[in-house]
Structures are given as C-alpha cells and as structure tokens.
Chain A
Amino acid sequence: MSGAEGARAANGNPRRSFFQRQLEELGARFSILEDGPLATDFGTATAEREQARQLGLCDLSSLPRIGFKGANTAAWLAGRGVALPAQPHRLARIEDGLLACRLSPGEALLLSQPWGASRLIKDVERAWSIESAGLCFPVPRRDSHAWLALVGARVPAMLTKICGIDFRPHKFADLTLAQTQVARTSAIVARADVEGTGCWHLLFDSASAAYMWQVLIDAMSEFDGRPVGCAALAPPGSAL
C-alpha cells in the first residue's frame, strides 16, 4: 500500500483523484480533503513554484466544485451570495477565492480556489433542495469532470497543439472561459490567473482522465512542462 493509499485509509475517505495512479507514480504528497486527496507537491515545492511560472500541470480534481442548470440558476445562486457574471463565458472571483463561471444564461459552474476547498460551495450545495430552488438543478461536476490547472507563460503555446482556440493572454482575457474541444474531447477552459501567472483551468469528462493526462504530458514535453502540486499555485504562506 503506497503512502497515499495509507493516508486515504487512515482518513477513511473513499474518494480518489482521477489521476491518482499518475500522481502516485510521480511521488506526489497528498493533503486529504473532504472531496479526496489533493497533490500538494512532489517533494520539490520550490522548484515546482518556479516550474509553474513556465508550464505546470496541476491536478485539482479533489477540490469542491459544482454546477447548476436551469432558468432560475442565476437568481437562486444570487440569493445564496454567488453573483454570476452578467455574460456567459465569463467568470468572477468571489468570496474565499471561489470562481463563479457562467457557462450560459442558465448554467453555472462553481470552482474552489486552486489551493483549497471553498466553504461557499459546500454551503450552496447544502442549501439546495428540489422543493425550494425552482428551475435550478445541481450538476455533479465534482465527479463528472476531471479538473486540471494549466499554469505558466507557455500554456497558450502548448494548447495550440491540442485546441483550436487562441488562448494567448491578450486574446483570451483573465476571467474568460470557452466550452470547446481539447484533443477531441469536450472541455471547459476557464482562465483565472493566480499570483500574476496565467492559469487556465481545464475541466473535462472524468472518464477521459487517463487519456487527457497522456495527451497533456506529451504536448507539454516540447515546452519543458511538468506536473506540479497545488502548493505551487498558492500564495506564499497560505495554508493548504
């Protein structure tokens, strides 16, 4: 039993990352969250922080996230303190680093900040009931979608190999998102920079996780990209 599996057993958490085996093979160190084990680093935190400025691949699949669909979505979320951007394909940073993405007029995606769980997401999830929310329904994005952060200056160049959208910073602004195809797989790409470094969140079918990991590792190799732990994305001194 690997260290990571031991940690899971000790915490009794049955959840695993969609990239669990890839991360364990790379020697990841995990922090056990309510939604599963989060790879904080690979034992080289300082180097990973530097790597993240160039090109890093960070698994955030164990962080809370949830979607909502339906005509009443924006109003119901607003009543819970989550103000969605006015326009689709935009996202907003709100309380405790939560990223509120508006996928369409009636569809939202809430993402935790990249280095820790967002309390507000759990609050919203608990507050929902089919009786009270009207035409607003939760979508289990925590499990339907794997979540990787692509971080660093070379991300747009790397993405040209697998996606037809121009993600360069001056063409694809911070807090913008696209629903597109990445390596022939449907994906949401949302840009939300961290600590002044470009960060593109990639969410896609969780069943395609192993495939996409292999695609990204291959695409990144040309640009010296490597996996990094989520500590590389966190502000200095932040608690993980």
Chain B
Amino acid sequence: MSARERLPLPFGIAIDRSRPLGYSFDGRSGSGYAGDTLASALAGDGVWLLSRSFKYHRPRGLFSLAGHDANTMVQVEDEPNVLADRLVLREGLTATPLNGTGTLTRDRARILERLHRFMPVGFYYHAFFRPAGTWPRWEKLIRAMGGLGTVNTGQKHGYYDKAYAFCDVCVIGAGPAGLSAALEAAAAGAEVIIIDDQALPGGALSFAREEVDGDADALRRSLLSQIEAQPSITLWSGAICQGWFTDHWLPVTRGDRLYKVRAAAVVIATGTIGQQVVFRNNDLPGIMLGSAAQRLMRLYGVRPGTRAVILAADEAGYGVALDLIDAGVEVAALLDLRTEVPASPLAAAVRERGVPVRPRMAVAEAVEGRNHLSAVRIAPVVGEGTLGTAGETIACDLLCLSAGGVPNAALVCHAGGSVRHDAVSGRFVVASTPPDLFVAGSVAGTESFAAAMAGGRRAGWQAARAAGFSNPHEPQVEPAMVAPAGPMPWPIFPHPKGKDFVDYDEDLTVSHVRDAVAAGFDSVELLKRYSTAGMGPSQGRITNPVLYRLLAQATGQSVEAVGSVTVRPPIGQEKIGHLAGRGFDPVRLSPIHHRHQELGATMMVAGTWLRPAVYGEGGQEASIRDEVRAVRNGVGLIDVSTLGKIEVRGPDAAAFLERIYTFAFAAQPVGRVRYALMTDEVGNVMDDGVAARLHAHHFYVTATTGGADGVYRFMQWCNAQWRLAVDIANVTAAYAAVNIAGPRARAVLARLEGDLDLAPEAFPYMAVREGMLAGMPVRALRVGFVGELGYELHVPSSCGEAIWDRLLAAGQSEGIRPFGVEAQRILRLEKGHVIIGQDTDGLSTPGEAGLGWALSKKKPFFVGKAALELRQRRAMNRVLVGFVQTSTGPQPLENHLIFAGSEVAGRVTSVAFSPSLERVIGLAYVPPALAETGTALTIKGTGGRLIAAEVSKTPFYDPENRRQEM
C-alpha cells in the first residue's frame, strides 16, 4: 500500500497529522493517522477493495462510511465482523478481509456469479436434499462457503462490564439538532446525556455543505464549545444506543461496556441514512454515498477519487460536487434525476465551476475495471424507474449517490412510533412518536442546519418539560422550516441484464425480489424472510426502502400501503461480550470457610453456599468412612452455619408456629426443642428443622440450607394474612453454627470455660440452653441428626472461627475430627432420617415420607391440614422405606428404579455404604404392598444390572436411640 498525500486543512478535521499509525490489512502494511478509521486509512492508502460479497464474491468497498452498510466488515485479529468504517485506527492494528477465496483481488469463488441462474431467490429452500443422502456432501461445501469471519473458540473472556447512567433528558445524535436540543434542555435545568455513534461529534456539520461559502465546521465547533461549557451535559461519542425499552431504558454500548441509561425523556436526532440508487453494477467499489465522499474529505482529508460523476436527486448532491472540486477531483458530470435543476446558489456555483449539470438523467450501468468503477453509462429518465436508451459512457473512478435520505428512526420504532411513506413528497417520514419521546433534525424531515437547530431547540425544550423542568421561553419552529422540498424521484432503475443490487449483504437483485413476490411472498414480512432482504449484517438499513418500493410496484399498491418490517434492537455492533458483561454470581461462605480450606476440605455447592463435603487428602471414600467412624466412636465436628435460622417473637409466637408447622408447639416448655415439619397448602412436605423455645414469646427456628429463604418468605406471606402479633426475622447469616457429635462430645465441651451445665439431667436431649462458652454467647441445642450425643452450638457469626478453633483444640486429646456433608449424609442415613428435597419430592406427604408422627391431630389448623385430611382418605400409593442390599457387586445409586416384575414400582432416594453396619443401606419409595420388612426388592442398577435388596426397619443403627440421648 502506498500512502497518498492527504488533503490540506480545512479537510481532515478528524485526524491528527502529527501522530502517524501503522497497521496491516490483508497482510500488507499501511499507515494512517490518529483519528482515522481503518476504512479511511485504507482509502488514504489507495485501498478501496475491502471485502467480497457473501454469495457471488463480488468486490465491495466503502459505501456509507457511517457504519450503515456491511461492505466494510473485516476480521480484526480474533474478532470477526468489525465494521472498518467504525473501527478507530490504532498502532499495529491487524485486519484481514472477510469471505475471500484465494486473494482479495483475485477471488476464485467469483465464478459463482456466472452460476447465478442456478441460484434463484430462495433456492436453498428447494435444494441440497435430493437425492436422499446428498445433504452431508453439500453441508461440507456450504459450511466452507458460509459464515463471515472466524471465531476463535479458544478466546479468553475479555473484560466487558456494565454500568448504569442517569439523566433527565437523553439525546441520541450529536448533529446540529441533537446538540441544540441538549443545550435547550440543559438551559431549562435538565441533566443531559448526548449519545453519538461517530468518533467526531457534530453530525452533518462535520462533513456536509449547504452553502457555497459556508463554514459548517465553525458552527459545529461553536455548538460543541457551548456543550463543553455546560456542566449538566455529558457527551458520549463513539457510543451506540442499541434500542429503546419501556420507561426510556436505553442500552448503550461504548467500548467494552454496556450502559443502562435511565432517562425521563428522550430526543431522537439520529439524522438520515443515505438512500441507495439501483442500477446495474451499483455495488462496485468507487460507488458511494455523496456523504461518504464528503466524510472522506472533510473528516480524514482523503480524496475519494480522481474523476467523479454525481448522481443527485437533492440539493446535497451539489454540495458534494463543490467539495470534490475544492479537493481537486475532476467532476465529469452531475446527473440530476429530477426534471429541472433547482435555481439554488449551490447549483449555480456548480455550473459556474464548469460542471456539466444534466437534469432527468440517471446511471443505467456502472462499468467494472479492476475491482473498481471505471465508467458509467448514462441514460435519460423517461418514467418512474424507466430509462431511455443508454448512450454516453463517462469514464470515472468515483460515483457519488445523493438521492436523499431515509429517517434513521429505528429507535422511534422501538418506542412504538412509526415511519411511513409520504406519497406527495416521495419520502419516508416519521409518522408518530410515543409520549416523552421527541424527534428533531433530518430524522424529523428538516433539510437545513438552521431548521435542524430550530427543531432541536424545540425538542430539547419539550423533553425538558416532560422531565419536569420548565422554561417559559418556548422555542418556536416556523412551519416552513420543516416543509420538505419537491418530490423525491424514484431511485430504482432495473437493468435487463440484472446485477442491479437491492441488498448488498445477500447479493439480491431486483429480479430476486420480483420473483419472490411472484411466488406469492407478497407481504413485506414474508418477502423479507423468503428473499432474506434486509436480514444480513446491515439489517436492511440500506435495503428496506428499496424493498418497499419494489413490493408496491409489483403488487400495484402504494408504498405506504405496503407497510414496513418490524424494527427490533439492537441497532448494531452489539457484541455477546456486551450482553454477558461482567457476571455477578454471589457465593455465600460460612464464617468458618477459611478453616475448612486450611484443612484441605473439598467444597461442594449447597444452594447459594459452599460447604465442606469431606476433609483431608487421600481417597474421598476412605476419608468419608473415617469421618463417620470418628463420630460413631469418638467425636466429630461439623459446620452447620448454612442452616436457616429464624427468630419468631411476640405474644403470638406459639400460635404462629402452631399454624405454620404441623407439630404442636403451644405447650412446648421453654428450654425445649421440637422437630418442626412444614407442609404447603396442599399438604406436600416443604421443609423441616427444629424449633427451640427460648421464652414464652420467643422461638428460634432452623430450616434447611436450601429452604431457608423460601421458609422465611412463606412465613411472612402467611402472617401478612393472619396478622398475628409476631415478628419474624431471618437471622441465618447472624449465627455461625457447629454440631459437635459423638460419645465424647460432652467431654470436649466440658473443657471449655462457660456457664452451661452439661449434665444429662440438666441439659437433656432435645433441650436448648443459652449461656457463655469460651467467652462467646451461645445457644446450645441438643439434637441428634447424626444419632449420637450431640450439641448444636450457635454463636454470633463473627465468632464462628473462634468456636471452631476452641472446640478443635479442646477435642485434640479426644481425637476430634472435622466431618463434612458427605459423612453427615451417611450418619443420618444410618439413623433413617430423611433429607427434605432428597428423600421427598414436590408431591411427598408426611405420611409417605414416614413423618406422620410429626402431624398434630389435636390442632384445629395448620397449613396443609385440610388437604392432608382429604388425601389421607385415599390409600397411599407409595411409602418411604429403608432397605439393605442383599446381593454382592455394585451398589445402587440415588434415583435408580425399583421394579416389581416388569413394572416400575419405585425409586431409590438415598443410598450409601454404612461404615457402621458394613453394608449398603438406603431409603426408597415403594408401593405399600412392598413395604413390609423383609420384602425382596429388585433395583435396576447402572447398565441395567439387577440388584437385590430387602426392606429393612429404620433406624438401621441404634434403633433404640440410646446413643443420642446419653
């Protein structure tokens, strides 16, 4: 690539010529300047061929230079599908073109273009699957040909994040209208955020020319200096508002961050998208919007060609001509689609400078040179979309299209507004806007900077008022300022030989669209889907207006009657990284967590918590068994801080528990603990725990680790209806809790200083005591989940590590051993204790789960009582029983099925090898007919192997419960 001299100032306002930057594209080095985009730097180096089209591999170059088309998509290192005209150049940037086969300049796959007859519209719906078995071969080819760019599946997750932003008025677009709106809203006292998708704010002021000798850039700088001086305005350039959501919730991508902007009112000042003109070979590099040529010159100081033709249908085309002349480009002709050349100063100036201005003329065909425009054949316009005989050929390397714009109103549509075609003016216009959303500038139909600014001021004033700020000086807009100019000519000139492209992304031509309509896809949404028009990366921004017009023409309707496709977020260039952002995954840790880590525990997830599954090195199975044996034979210590803990206090505390749990609590003595089983309104088991009565008006209730939050919510929900004089507080995190269990537990506790009387008669099984232990306030509950003498000690969570440390130290001589959740599961299984959620499911009743003893029959009410009484009238169809494995070989696993003959009869809920009993034990649901002790069960194990088992009484271990009551 060879760097060409950039145009002198005032061209090139966006670049810093003192800061050259090197880059490479397609393996070749180039240089640009700070402020360049990759596309402008390439243009500055004389590179106009940027990519190959998706289907025919035709050469493509820059078209809008504003990110509206996908011709500039490149791969930047590991990131595919980056728009080169939005990609700010940086030193060392390495980009490669997309979709090429061979080299970019000599693409072998362009031969596909010659096969276009075999690829009619929607051909892929009818091809590739006959004869049977042919698809796999096609698939390989299609996969090789399809897609855009390469995804690096080994790519590490980048640092993307999200942030909220707040303002009273959000202005989208920093052109003359947007900047004026922001200033007016700020003057009323509103806080304003301006969001602009271009690196250099100013919109059309930065590149367009509406006067012969005007200085739009001076106006731009003036507005920006006013913005800068206004502290209540924040301007984000290079930011894309990706959509509009209810209550003015605006997702905005800026760099690697997704902002969630909350505004009270919104001004849309997003301008227009330059209209495409359809003729043969209208996709060649060198054919671009007039605004794109102006951006190249004004922003980047790049001359867009050497000899130009301008195809105009509006006043802006004449400004383009003057800019090109000023930049030293020879303007060979200005073709005006309109019948008459306007008597405007710009048109007069163009003529004065010797440019042949030719009204009612159009381009019939562009001629391809070496992957670039080399000439145009022109023809007179003789009717709507009809040309006379093509005649003169004009050599040129640049064709600028200036056929008006379509409102860039996607955000308006997201918000519930609409765009329609106006038959009188031949333009698309914003037809309606929702409340508190205002449009200004060219998106609203204005055609001059002055009108845009006037409209902007009014929209800003309205938005500020909608946001609650008043300014008595209401800006007025003269009606004449928003009146559109004369009718816009029809911009589609089909060619008998085709290649008259409607959609660049999908290589769709006029005949494709017409064929689809003829095939019956004659509504706009169907046409879009069948033809895929507007479904490529540029999402119809360039295509849709042409599509609507062609559909109207083909169906004999007005363009307005055809309607428009649904416009959805995102606007564009939103990455998966933006959506994923920085994940927040809260993890709750016990106050003793670090001690578990220091002891080498393997942690497991338990709801939102991490819990120690098993401690120590070596085989996990062996460690688990050693932990079980330590508890059975000596003493063990487990962290149970994750248990739910709820305070129920007040004069009606006992009455509340009577209602919320199935057991009886009214007569529970202070200082005693009772099992607490909770059922839902239809009698299904919800949760369990224990309720310790600390005072006549105070119960301390535990819940399962996973169920705690749900239990607390359910309690609050119930009491919101019952209105009992009781307060419910979830204090789960306030208390660390440990269970010291085993025959030596009392001996260990006795070594700690404190005021708890540990004698069995003073502190019996199922009692609760409060006092001091090792200098810590403690609630001690004698409970027996693992079936041994045990004390559940609840201390303030800030004392969690300390109670753990003191107990381990005190128990050293007794061989105390920490045990984890896995050992606890075996210990409780040996006792036949159920785990809610494991041995019960969403439909288990207390009776089925063997918890019928926990239902009070005397109480008039508890949640689920009425339903349970109804359900108990029917025979149970399953019951939870204990079983022992009687066959040798592999043991069954949880959820293995139990068979009665060939019928599924039940399932295993818990199963483990019991170190205490030296055999495999478990719990399972079986039909009542199979529940008798000694009944043989057949379990289908892994791989279909049948396992023999036998129903057994529970508890398996210490059936008289003597050990826990020591």
Contacts and interface: CB of A to CB of B under 8 A. Distances in A.
- Whether A and B are associated in the same complex: the answer reads yes
Interface of A: 12, 14-18, 21, 35-36, 61-62, 69-70, 130, 135, 137, 139-145, 160-164, 166, 168, 171, 183-185, 205-211, 215, 218
B594 A21 contact: yes
B163 A16 contact: no
Nearest to B159: A218
Contacts of B803: 14
Contacts of B585: 184
Given A14-B775, A205-B588, A209-B589, A137 B164 contact: no
Given A69-B729, A161-B161, A137 B649 contact: yes
Contacts of B262: 164, 166
Given A135-B650, A143-B735, 12 more contacts: A12-B775, A14-B775, A15-B796, A70-B650, A139-B729, A145-B733, A164-B164, A184-B584, A206-B797, A207-B733, A209-B589, A210-B587
Residue of A14, A168, A206 with most partner-chain B CB within 10 A: A14
A200 to B, nearest CB: 15
Contacts of A35: 798
5 contacts: A135-B727, A143-B798, A144-B733, A184-B585, A206-B733
B802 interface: yes
Contact of A183 (B584, B590, B641, B775): B584
B709 to A, nearest CB: 10
A14 B799 contact: yes
Contact of A207 (B162, B590, B650): B590
B609 interface: yes
A18 B735 CA distance: 13
Given A15-B798, A130-B698, A161-B163, A144 B775 contact: no
B734 A140 contact: yes
Contacts of B390: none
Top 8 closest pairs, chain A to chain B, by CB: A14-B802, A144-B734, A207-B588, A140-B734, A143-B734, A166-B166, A15-B798, A143-B796
Contacts of B93: none
Contacts of B582: 161, 218
Interface in B410-425: none
A62 B585 CA distance: 26
Nearest to A12: B775
B734 to A, nearest CB: 4
Contacts of B798: 15-18, 35-36, 61-62, 142-143, 206
Contacts of B161: 161
A53 to B, nearest CB: 20
Q: For the complex, would chain B's binding face be called helix, strand, loop or mixed by DSSP majority?
A: mixed
B731 A14 contact: no
Contacts of A168: 166
Interface string B163-187: 1111000000000000000000000
B801 interface: yes
A206 B734 contact: yes
Nearest to A36: B798
B682 interface: no
Given A16-B798, A160-B164, A215 B589 contact: no
A69 B648 CA distance: 12
Nearest to B735: A143
B963 interface: no
A121 to B, nearest CB: 15
Interface string B549-588: 0000000000000000000000000000000001011111
Contacts of B697: 130
B192 to A, nearest CB: 14
A145 B594 CA distance: 19
B774 interface: yes
B647 interface: yes
B796 A140 contact: yes
B458 to A, nearest CB: 27
A130 B589 contact: no
Contacts of B163: 160-161
A56 B845 CA distance: 54
Q: How large is the interface on B (under 10, 10 to 19, 20 to 34, 35 or more residues)?
A: 35 or more
B591 interface: yes
Most chain B CB atoms below 10 A, which of A21, A144, A164, A215: A144
Contacts of A36: 798
B776 interface: yes
B796 A208 contact: no
Given A142-B796, A161-B162, A163-B164, A185 B735 contact: no
A16 B775 CA distance: 14
A218 B583 CA distance: 12
Interface in B729-747: 729, 731-735
B857 interface: no
Nearest to B161: A161
Contacts of A218: 582
A73 B921 CA distance: 53
A185 B587 CA distance: 10
A206 B591 contact: yes
A137 B729 CA distance: 9
A160 B259 CA distance: 9
A130 B164 contact: no
Nearest to A157: B163
A16 B796 contact: no
Contact of B727 (A17, A21, A70, A209): A70
Interface in B585-608: 585-591, 593-594
A191 to B, nearest CB: 16
B807 to A, nearest CB: 12
B876 interface: no
B443 to A, nearest CB: 29
Contacts of A171: 166
A210 B164 CA distance: 24
A36 B802 CA distance: 12
Nearest to A159: B164
A224 to B, nearest CB: 16
Nearest to A106: B727
A208 B697 CA distance: 31
A170 to B, nearest CB: 9
Contacts of A18: 591, 797-798
Nearest to A145: B733
B725 interface: yes
Given A205-B588, A207-B589, A208-B588, A139 B775 contact: no
Contacts of A166: 164, 166, 262
B695 interface: yes
A207 B649 contact: no
A88 B166 CA distance: 24
Contacts of B609: 207
B705 to A, nearest CB: 11
B179 to A, nearest CB: 24
Nearest to B260: A164
Contacts of A142: 734, 796, 798
B710 to A, nearest CB: 15
A205 B774 CA distance: 26
Contacts of A161: 161-164, 582
A62 B163 CA distance: 31
Interface in B715-737: 725, 727, 729, 731-735
A36 B798 CA distance: 8
Contacts of B802: 14-16
Contacts of B729: 69, 137, 139
Contacts of A209: 589
A15 B587 contact: no
A59 to B, nearest CB: 12
B650 A137 contact: yes
A12 B609 CA distance: 30
Given A15-B798, A16-B798, A69 B727 contact: yes
A133 to B, nearest CB: 10
Given A130-B649, A137-B647, A144-B731, A211 B162 contact: no
A159 B731 CA distance: 27
Contacts of B641: 207
A16 B798 CA distance: 5
